[in-house]
Chain A
Amino acid sequence: MADHHSSVTWSHQFEDAGQQHEAASLGMWVFLATEVMFFGGLFCGYTIYRNQYVAGFVAGSHELNAVIGAINTAVLICSSLSMALAVRAAQLGKRISLVSCLIVTILLGLTFIFVKLYLEWWHDYQHGFAPALNFTFAGPNTRSVELFFCFYFLMTGVHALHMIVGVGVLSVLTVKAWKGRYGPDHFNSVEIAGLYWHFIDIIWIFLFPLLYLIGGRY
Chain B
Amino acid sequence: MATAPVEIDTRVHYLNVSYGIKSWLLTTDHKRIAILYMVAITFFFLVGGVAATLMRIHLIEPNGAIFEPGTYNKLFSTHGIVMVFFFLIPSIPAVLGNFLVPMMVGARDVAFPKLNLLSWYIFMAGGLLVLYSVIWGGVDTGWTFYTPLSTTYLNSNVLSAAIGVFVAGFSSILTGLNFVVTIHKMRAPGMTWFRMPLFLWSIYATSVIQILGTPILAITLALVAVERVFHVGIFDPAVGGDPILFQHMFWFYSHPAVYIMILPSMGVVSELIACFSKKRIFGYSFVAFSSIAIAVISFLVWGHHMFLSGQSVYAGIIFSALSFAVAIPSAIKVFNWTATLYKGSISYDAPMLYALGFIGLFTMGGLTGLFLATLAEDTHLHDTYFVIAHFHYIMVGGAVMGYLGGIHYWWPKITGRLYNDAWARLAAAIVFIGFNLTFFPQYMLGYLGMPRRYAIYSPEFQVLNVMSSAGASILAVGYAIPLVYLIWSMRYGPEAGPNPWGAKGLEWQTPSPPPTENFEQIPIVTEEAYAYGAKEVQVG
Q: Complex formed: what's the CA distance from A30 to B204 in Å?
A: 13
B249 within 8 A of A: yes
B321 within 8 A of A: no
A12 within 8 A of B: yes
Q: Could you tell me which residues of chain B, from 106 to 133, have a CB within 8 Å of some CB in chain A?
A: 107-113
What does the 1/0 interface line of A173-187 toward B look like (CB < 8 Å)? 000000000000000
Interface size on A, residues (CB 8 A): 39
Sample of 11 A–B contacts (CB below 8 Å): A13-B111, A13-B186, A30-B177, A30-B181, A31-B177, A38-B216, A53-B240, A131-B230, A132-B231, A146-B239, A150-B233
Q: Inside 8 A of B184's CB, which chain A residues have their CB? A: 26
B5 within 8 A of A: no
B346 within 8 A of A: no
Q: How far is the CB of A30 from chain B (nearest CB, A)?
A: 5
The residue in chain B whose Cβ has the minimal distance to the Cβ of A21 is B185
| Contact pick for B249, options A14, A30, A41, A132, CB 8 Å | A41
Query: A30-B211, A35-B215, A143-B239 given as contacts; is B110 within 8 A of A13 (CB)?
Result: yes
User: Is the CB–CB distance between A34 and B241 below 8 Å?
Assistant: no
What does the 1/0 interface line of B505-539 toward A look like (CB < 8 Å)? 00000000000010000100000000000000000
Q: Which 9 A-B pairs have the closest CB atoms?
A: A132-B230, A41-B219, A13-B109, A38-B215, A37-B215, A132-B232, A23-B111, A23-B185, A147-B239
| Contact pick for B234, options A22, A30, A49, A132, CB 8 Å | A49
User: Is the CB–CB distance between A38 and B218 below 8 Å?
Assistant: yes
Q: Could you tell me which residues of chain A, from 129 to 166, have a CB within 8 Å of some CB in chain B?
A: 131-133, 135, 143-144, 146-147, 150-151, 154
User: Is the CB–CB distance between A13 and B216 below 8 Å?
Assistant: no
Q: How far is the CB of A159 from chain B (nearest CB, A)?
A: 13
What does the 1/0 interface line of A22-55 toward B look like (CB < 8 Å)? 1100110011011101111110110011001100
User: Is the CB–CB distance between B219 and A38 below 8 Å?
Assistant: yes
Q: Inside 8 A of B242's CB, which chain A residues have their CB? A: 48
Q: Inside 8 A of A131's CB, which chain B residues have their CB? A: 230, 232, 239
Q: Inside 8 A of A135's CB, which chain B residues have their CB? A: 232
Q: Complex formed: what's the CA distance from A13 to B215 in Å?
A: 28
B214 within 8 A of A: yes
Query: A13-B111, A131-B239 given as contacts; is B232 within 8 A of A23 (CB)?
Result: no
A65 within 8 A of B: no
B157 within 8 A of A: no
Q: What is the predominant secondary structure among interface residues of chain A facing chain B?
A: helix
A15 within 8 A of B: yes
The residue in chain B whose Cβ has the minimal distance to the Cβ of A44 is B249
Q: Could you tell me which residues of chain B, from 170 to 223, have a CB within 8 Å of some CB in chain A?
A: 173, 177, 180-182, 184-186, 211-216, 218-220, 223
Q: How far is the CB of B104 from chain A (nearest CB, A)?
A: 15
Q: Inside 8 A of B111's CB, which chain A residues have their CB? A: 13, 23, 27
B149 within 8 A of A: no
The residue in chain B whose Cβ has the minimal distance to the Cβ of A45 is B234
B25 within 8 A of A: no
Question: How big is the B interface, by class?
Answer: 35 or more
Interface-central residue, B112, B185, B230, B241, by most chain A CB under 10 Å: B185
Residues of B within 8 A of A (CB): 102, 107-113, 173, 177, 180-182, 184-186, 211-216, 218-220, 223, 226, 230-234, 238-242, 245, 249, 517, 522
Q: How far is the CB of B202 from chain A (nearest CB, A)?
A: 18
User: Is the CB–CB distance between A34 and B215 below 8 Å?
Assistant: yes
A9 within 8 A of B: no
Q: Inside 8 A of A37's CB, which chain B residues have their CB? A: 211-213, 215-216
| Contact pick for A34, options B212, B233, B238, CB 8 Å | B212
Query: A26-B181, A26-B185 given as contacts; is B240 within 8 A of A147 (CB)?
Result: yes
The residue in chain A whose Cβ has the minimal distance to the Cβ of B516 is A12
The residue in chain A whose Cβ has the minimal distance to the Cβ of B226 is A154
User: Is the CB–CB distance between A33 and B181 below 8 Å?
Assistant: no
Q: A23-B111, A26-B185 are in contact. List 20 more A-B contacts (CB 8 A).
A: A11-B113, A12-B108, A15-B522, A19-B186, A27-B177, A27-B181, A30-B211, A34-B211, A37-B215, A38-B219, A40-B216, A41-B220, A41-B249, A49-B241, A132-B230, A135-B232, A143-B238, A144-B240, A147-B234, A151-B234
Q: How far is the CB of B256 from chain A (nearest CB, A)?
A: 11
Q: How far is the CB of A154 from chain B (nearest CB, A)?
A: 7
Query: A19-B185, A27-B111 given as contacts; is B215 within 8 A of A146 (CB)?
Result: no
Q: Could you tell me which residues of chain A, from 48 to 104, have a CB within 8 Å of some CB in chain B?
A: 48-49, 52-53, 56
| Contact pick for A42, options B107, B182, B219, CB 8 Å | B219
Q: How far is the CB of B530 from chain A (nearest CB, A)?
A: 26
Q: Complex formed: what's the CA distance from A55 to B518 in Å?
A: 63
Q: How far is the CB of B17 from chain A (nearest CB, A)?
A: 14
